[in-house]
Structure 1
Amino acid sequence: MPFKTKILFLCTGNSCRSQMAEGFARALRSGDMEAYSAGVVRHGMNPLAVKAMAEAGVDISGQSSKTVDDLATKEFDWIITLCGHANENCPYFPGKARRIHAGFDDPPALAKAAATEEEALAHYRRVRDEIKAFVQGFDINAAG
């Protein structure tokens, strides 16, 4: 089996952005990435994130919300923070992990003022598509 780069996508609550990134990495980059996601805290899976991903053909309904403590025994090649809070509060990971920040808007925060689920989903879809493009274009061999 070829070597796969182990990547941790990290956001605040592991309910939306990091779950989307993990889902896309598993769906689109399973040949070269072993993807995980976690949050600084655990907020549970966001149902609109699950719905937006399903629309894109990626089922994340079986994923679970985790904290970094749940993955403390894993060694990662990359830690990718997806929001400012996670970037500022990213715990120390021992080992060779390279860390980068790739910030994305928070769909639940953007959708708070939405009058309908469809209006709310528009925010999730935009961020979902931005995360997909990031995951597809991420160079696992780039200098950290």
Structure 2
Amino acid sequence: MHSPKINCLPTLAKTIEKAKSLPLPAERKEVLQRLIDYIQRKVDAKEELNLNFICTHNSRRSQFSQIWAQTAADYFGIPANCFSGGVEVTAFNERAVDSIKRSGFRVSKKGEENPTYFLFHSDEAEPIVAFSKLFDDPINRGDRFATVMTCAHADENCPFIPGAEERIPVRYEDPKAFDDTPQEADRYDERSLQIASEMFYVFSKISSPL
């Protein structure tokens, strides 16, 4: 059993336990295996691990994925740099930000039009920096990374990602379909929790070299 390497904020710790307890269907385990294999190869080779999660607008699913992957990596003590990007710049959707806050992250905001958010999963850690950007934004790693495609549109309309060592599809349904409905908050939280569950599953499968 892996023991946590970070002291998560209290509400976030409860969300993580809930995410870890969710059953994972066999077909999703199959989808995630390529990502597990890539991470394990990098860890075994003692090479820097860089993951870039990509969705069209870099506003919901790719942001959730970056945040939860970085949190899971830190939780299990796997050195990783998790990024996100899109093929268009919009903003980190406020509904998704609210969901992340409900999960228990401490969040601060800088700017208005396309704000930069600083998210903390613990008192000791450096913040996870989140804002909408193109996949090749200078803040992201430009080479020796895996591209993780989180939506069908970006996967199909962005056939080549320069610098990527591997391209791995891990697609999620878009909670945007429930914007401005009574189900909005529940559906955003549901998608965030699904992504948390899967990222924690992925990193729980990684064996650190002795």
Q: Is the 8 A contact 2:142 2:163 kept in 1?
A: no
- Report the Cα distance in structure 1 between the residues aligned to 2:201 and 2:137, rounded to whole angstroms: 28
In 2 relative to 1, CA 92–59 (structure 1 residues): closer, same or farther, beyond 3 Å? farther
Question: Counterpart in 1 of 2:23?
Answer: none
Q: Could you tell me which amino acid in structure 1 is paired with residue 84 of structure 2?
A: S
When normalised by structure 1's length, the TM-score is: 0.81
Return the offset for 1:133.
1.5
Return the offset for 1:59.
4.5
2:186 is the alignment partner of 1:122: yes
Return the offset for 1:73.
6.1
Q: Segments of 4+ in structure 1 off by > 4 A?
A: none
Which runs of 5 or more structure 1 residues have no equivalent in the other structure?
Answer: none
2:49 is the alignment partner of 1:5: yes
1:1-144 matches, within 5 Å, as 3-30=47-74, 31-59=78-106, 61-62=117-118, 63-71=130-138, 74-95=142-163, 97-109=165-177, 111-112=178-179, 114-115=181-182, 119-138=183-202
In 2 relative to 1, CA 79–59 (structure 1 residues): closer, same or farther, beyond 3 Å? farther
Identity of aligned residues (%): 26
Return the offset for 1:95.
4.1
- State the structure with more CA Rg: 2
When normalised by structure 2's length, the TM-score is: 0.58
Which runs of 5 or more structure 2 residues have no equivalent in the other structure?
Answer: 1-45, 108-116, 119-129
Equivalent position SS for 2:136: helix
- Report the Cα distance in structure 1 between the residues aligned to 2:141 and 2:83, rounded to whole angstroms: 13
Q: Could you tell me which amino acid in structure 2 is paired with residue 14 of structure 1?
A: N
- Report the Cα distance in structure 2 between the residues aligned to 1:17 and 1:59, rounded to whole angstroms: 19
- State the superposition RMSD in angstroms: 2.3
Write the deviation string for residues 108-137 of structure 1: whole angstroms up to 9, x where unpaired. 12x13614xxx2111101110111122112
- Report the Cα distance in structure 2 between the residues aligned to 1:96 and 1:38, rounded to whole angstroms: 13
